[in-house]
Amino acid sequence: EKALQLLNQMAVKHVLSSDHACSDVISLSTAMSACQKASQWEKALQLFSTMTQLELERNTIAFNTAMSACEKGGMWEDALHLLSVMELSGVQSQVVTFCAAVGACVTVDRSDKVLQLLDVMEQSKVEVDTIIFSAAICSCEKSNGWARLLHLLCPMEYANWKNLSSQPGALIQSSK
């Protein structure tokens, strides 16, 4: 709440404008982060929209903070939309970016989207970290996506696991 009050004071004093673009992105991102941490994801996303209205160039930090706000609010579709906008805007994504998007999907049990994000990460040459793998494991466990999960964890081709998934006995034999 205090962060929003300070931001409003800056706006009143005309500190927020396209003339102060760098400081405005930092100020708005900081306020977004404060809102996100206070579970006020709607306000965080409003501040993100303000960047567009002020014609400010949104950076990786701003996108990551907005996606983290979506994660807090269980707004997985918005998180994935922001990821698309980020890519179209030419803003570099990072592991943190995907962590927020994956987290938003895990929150609402969308393991299909989690697995798609892992594929996107691989295509984008973004290294999957332990946190994202753990989230994927939890997500697949909840949705009985064990065959796909095994594909993620093992270097074997997916086709081999697909064949084994129809024969649980063969899977047990292959692990001996």
- What type of residue sits at position 95? V
Write the pLDDT tens digit of every residue in 140-170. Answer: 777 766 676 666 666 434 444 444 444 444 4
Residue 23 confidence (pLDDT): 52
Write the pLDDT tens digit of every residue in 72-117. Answer: 888 999 999 999 999 999 999 999 999 999 999 998 889 889 888 9
Give the CA-trace dihedral at 133, 110, 82, 41, to 10 degrees. -100
User: Residue 16 above 50 pLDDT?
Assistant: no
Distance CA 95, CA 128 (A): 7
Residue 158 confidence (pLDDT): 44
Contacts of 122 (CB under 8 A, 6+ apart): 128
23 against 115, higher pLDDT: 115
Residue 146 confidence (pLDDT): 67
Write the pLDDT tens digit of every residue in 114-148. Answer: 888 988 888 888 888 888 888 888 887 777 666 76
